[in-house]
Amino acid sequence: MKRSIHPLLLVLFIGIVSFAVNAQQQETSITPGIYGIHGSGSVILELNEDRSFRYKNEADPSNPIDVNGTWEDKGLKVYLKNYPDDVRIPEVWKVDADHQCIRSQMTSFLIIRLCHTGRSNSDHQS
């Protein structure tokens, strides 16, 4: 009788683990929209529902950046892809635990943190 309980517990354990992993994967996806610095429009990252993005950085007026490409999320990271090679932007963004902000490390001393400020302009067009 004891041997029949072990396979049942194993099946139950596998079911619980696969449900937890699936739920965690769904939790880690980021909400599309506009991410920026509250009260400042100098740096924005607009993540659109169609997986396109726009990154705009006017922090250095002598070298403004305005670039488009595509993005994907894997776990707690967002990857920016398919933008011009001659433009230097943060490619990998880490999603904060509250899923409302993202951050990227440009250099050993410079970390950019942007928070969700609203829906993107393309989300309003239907």
- Whether 125 has a pLDDT exceeding 60, the answer reads no
To the nearest whole percent, how much of the chain has pLDDT over 90? 54
Query: Binning pLDDT at 50, 70 and 90, where does residue 21 land?
Result: very low
**Residues β-bridged to residue 36:** 44, 115
What pLDDT, on the 0 to 100 scale, is given for residue 25? 46
- Whether 120 has a pLDDT exceeding 80, the answer reads no
Query: Binning pLDDT at 50, 70 and 90, where does residue 123 land?
Result: very low
Other beta carbons within 10 Å of 8: 9
What pLDDT, on the 0 to 100 scale, is given for residue 126? 42
Which 3-state string (H, E, C) describes 95-109?
ECCCCCEEEEECCCC
Distances (CA, A) of 7 to 3, 12, 26, 74: 7, 9, 29, 33
Mean pLDDT across 100-115: 91
Residue linked to tokens 């409302």: 100
123 phi-psi bin (left φ>0, alpha ψ -120 to 50, beta other): alpha
pLDDT in tens, 57-86: 998 999 999 999 999 999 999 999 999 999
Contacts of 115 (CB under 8 A, 6+ apart): 35, 36, 37, 38, 100, 101, 102
d(CA 11, CA 32): 37
Distances (CA, A) of 109 to 2, 80, 87, 104, 112: 59, 21, 20, 11, 10
Other beta carbons within 10 Å of 70: 14
What pLDDT, on the 0 to 100 scale, is given for residue 106? 83
Instruction: Report the range of poorest mean pLDDT among 4-13, 71-80, 102-111.
Output: 4-13
